[in-house]
Structure 1
Amino acid sequence: MIKLLKDQYTKYEEVINYLFFGVLATVVNIVIFFIFDTLLQTPYLFANGLSIIGAILFAFFTNKKYVFKSETVSKREAFREFYLFVGFRLTSGIFDMLSMYILVDFLTIDTNVSKIITQFIVVVLNYVFSKVFIFKQEEGEND
């Protein structure tokens, strides 16, 4: 049984790690949002922007090291990954901001509930962006 679990983990390691660290990044995002929105009573879109920035930074380092295991050999390559990662995450961040605005201002859903709803779609977008555009591996790597 242990061997089967280990084999399955090895086979699906990237997806499992992405889900694990994706959940952690989402928790970082929601906690930062809650602190600024609810506890500090910052305007919700500003709180959302801060939470997106915090989650982007957390996610970049965990995705690079633990999910996609990207080892860059030059500063230029590392900067390229960071630039692309932030760029694509800001793209999903725009979706996040628009969703929050629609859910809160037009549908009058609580800000914290809206944040949680929005995160489901953002996680999927971010995985696709990371896998396809940012931490893509050459054929034959990690097979």
Structure 2
Amino acid sequence: MQKIKDWITKYYEGLAYLFFGGVATLLNLLIFAVFQAAFGTGFAAGPGNIIDNILCILFAYWTNRTFVFRSRNHGTAALKEFGQFVFFRLLTLVMDQVIITIGVQMVGPAIGFAVAGAASGDAMAPSELWAMGVKLFSQVVVILSNYVFSKLFTFKKKQ
């Protein structure tokens, strides 16, 4: 049992990032799916994706600060940390939006998946599944980028 505790302690940061990153990703995908079902793929891949990302940025900051990197910054240091976090997350929001736009609005129609204006029935149409697959791929790229940015720039340990 002690070996397990030691292993968790040794790898806590990475494990916590994977867990809370997974929760944030599920939240991101869930909001995308809700927007897609309610307003169609066009909205979900456009303005809905921006709204989705903003909500998830706020959630991710709180979980990263509190549970993953256990930041103890206060005052101006905390504001600087938040500013850096938001800056880098806005960079990955742009990455996400570029991937979504190219994948859903350009590649999708080129291979036969037209962007649906509104959700169709109970089952997901192939274009909606394609859009969700593109979103999932985008989230993998975003998660990896966010970890690097958070570890190297935002929540770096003082030496």
Q: Does the pair score TM above 0.5?
A: yes
Match of 1:86 in 2: 86
Question: In the comparison of the two structures, how many residue pairs are matched?
Answer: 137
Q: Identity across aligned pairs (percent)?
A: 37
Q: How does 1:103-118 map to 2 (within 5 A)?
A: 103-108=103-108, 110-118=130-138
2:55 counterpart residue number: 54
Equivalent residue runs for 1:1-143 within 5 Å? 2-41=1-40, 43=43, 44-73=45-74, 75-108=75-108, 110-139=130-159
How far did 1:23 drift? 0.3
Rounded Cα–Cα distance in structure 2 between residues aligned with 1:38 and 1:114: 16
What is the Cα deviation at residue 40 of structure 1? 3.2
Over the aligned positions, Cα root-mean-square deviation in angstroms equals 1.2
Deviation at 1:37, TM superposition (A): 2.0
**Runs in 1 of length 4+ with deviation above 3 angstroms?**
none
> With CA pairs under 8 Å and 6+ residues apart, which has the higher RCO, 1 or 2?
2
SS of the residue corresponding to residue 46 of structure 2 reads helix
Please say which structure displays the higher CA radius of gyration.
Answer: 2
Q: State the TM-score, normalizing by the size of structure 2.
A: 0.82
Structure 2 gap segments, 5+ residues each? 114-129
Q: Which consecutive unaligned segments of at least 5 residues does structure 1 have?
A: none
Greater shift, 28-37 or 123-132, is seen at 28-37
**CA shift for structure 1 position 39:** 2.5
